[in-house]
Amino acid sequence: MNINPDNTVFVVLSFEGPDVYSMAGGLSSRIMNLTNTLVEMGFTIHNFFIGDPEKKGVEIFKNGNLFLYRWCQWISKCYPGGVYDGEEDKLNDFTQSVPPYVVNEVILPAISQKKLVVILGEEWQTAETMCQISDLLFHTGFRDKAVMFWNANNTYGFERIDWQRLTYTTRITTVSKYMKQIMLKMGINPFVIANGIPKELLNEIDDKDVTTLKNLINSEITLSKVARWHPDKGWEPAINAIGMLKKTGIKPVLLARGGVGSYGLKVTQQPKMTGIMVKNVLLDVNENIENLYLEATLHKTFKPYFKAIAKAGKGDIFNFMFPIPCSFLQVIYKASDIVLANSIHEPFGLVGLEAMADGAIVFCGSSGEDYAVHMQNAIVLDTFEADEIQFYIDYLRLHEDNRKTISLAAKQTAEQWTWKKVVKRLICKLEYQAQLQGVNNLADMSTK
């Protein structure tokens, strides 16, 4: 069948979502860009996520095509720390209450209008929810009228999934060939549906903002790293590389954003013993973080962020203690000589692709970054060592022509991974699944 906005409705299930409260990592970015792209293509989207407890429970945007359902708000009021604060309580409520609501209020009404329903579940927290939705549809006689894809962005929580039940009830997908190989060893053969980047990231950055940032940090070589505080993410070799560069007489600066976590405290405190000065970048306590985030996103207003950097003072590592909007990340990547995405276990590598959109020189690991080709559009590291990072930094400083070639190829690569192109690939695989289920036309898709 031909899936199009006239005959198909999408339901997206995820803990993370578009509210600042709901943002914790790359998953929130994936959800926002996926849903926004589908809406731009004309589809109607019902997005269920753990939302800000102070906002409306249900909101409708994009001329009635985007429905946001902020779930578990009564629980979130007791857990102000964000989407994963009180995770177990939220998980229990989400699993019990979302399936009957989605089936009765979204899926069955859409089927009665002779529409196909596509349900996309993200990460381990939604696995049982997807299974229960499938069960409810089976008992109502309409399971074959809904196409269900559950997606693994990472291996986190795999031990909590009933894989036999999940593979029986829904089609499993993942984000890279690297993840597919991991899952094949588990006896699971998923579809690969990659991440993408919003086309806006390909726009040119205002050089004035880039210059302002460079002047504030005043470095000879600028590196940046945006990743969760976790040993797998390569924070220790990144920081060790800063120390090694300093010993050679170069003045480096690392712009770092790792979020919250005890590992972050350990990593940022350790450099003090090796002569590396860490400065925490904090927003003014009187500022509303969410309002600043929206201003930066909508109007490219970065003065509060520049003010926070200036207030931090001189340092070797600037540790950003707040969510950085994508628009300001673009400025950071453009101002960086090197963007470190040097994870040892990286299921996809969204940061690397986002940075490449700005023509940045990305140092990535050798796991899930299917888009990265060593010395062509990126530097693909083979080890988890600071020595290798320093080697390629020195190499690029001595071979300016290679740097320019890699930068140009990086931007060209990013152009092939915009969300619109990724979603077209997703729809093609959804059509294949619909064919397997026998949904060749929608003529018989009315409630009994």
Per-residue pLDDT of the chain (448 residues; tens, 9 = 90+): 899 999 999 999 999 999 989 988 778 989 999 999 999 999 999 999 999 999 999 999 999 999 999 999 999 999 999 999 999 999 999 999 999 999 999 999 999 999 999 999 999 999 999 999 999 999 999 999 999 999 999 999 999 999 999 999 999 999 999 999 999 999 999 999 999 999 999 999 999 999 999 999 999 999 999 998 989 999 999 999 999 999 999 999 999 999 877 888 888 887 766 789 999 999 988 888 889 988 988 889 999 999 999 999 999 999 999 889 989 999 999 999 999 999 999 999 889 999 999 999 999 998 989 999 999 999 999 999 999 999 999 999 999 999 999 999 999 999 999 999 999 999 999 999 999 998 865 544 544 4
Residues 213 and 175 placed together within one structural domain of the fold:
no
Q: What is residue 448's predicted lDDT score, i.e. its pLDDT?
A: 43
Supply the range of the domain harboring residue 369. Answer: 199-415
Judgement on whether residues 174 and 296 belong to the same structural domain of the protein = no
Other CB atoms within a 10 A radius of the CB of residue 310 amount to 13
Q: Are residues 31 and 177 in the same domain?
A: yes
In a domain? residue 372: yes
Is the domain of 177 the same as that of 208?
A: no
Query: Going by C-beta distance under 8 Å and a sequence separation of 6 or more, which residues neighbour residue 79?
Result: 85, 86, 89, 90
- Answer whether residue 143 is part of any domain: yes
With respect to residue 443, please indicate whether it lies within any of the assigned structural domains.
Answer: no
The pLDDT of residue 446:
45
Contact indicator for 10, 41 with CB cutoff of 8 Å: no
Task: Indicate whether 258 and 192 sit together in one domain.
Answer: no
Looking at the fold, whether 398 and 327 belong to one and the same domain comes out as: yes
Asked if 142 and 112 sit in the same domain, the reply is yes
- Work out how many domains the chain is built from and give that number: 2
> Are residue 274 and residue 179 in the same domain, yes or no?
no
Tell me, yes or no, whether 358 and 326 share the same domain. Answer: yes
* CATH number of the domain bearing residue 81: 3.40.50.2000
Is residue 317 a part of any domain in this protein? Answer: yes
* pLDDT recorded at residue 110: 97
- Residue 361 within any structural domain of the chain: yes
Both 156 and 125 in one domain: the answer is yes
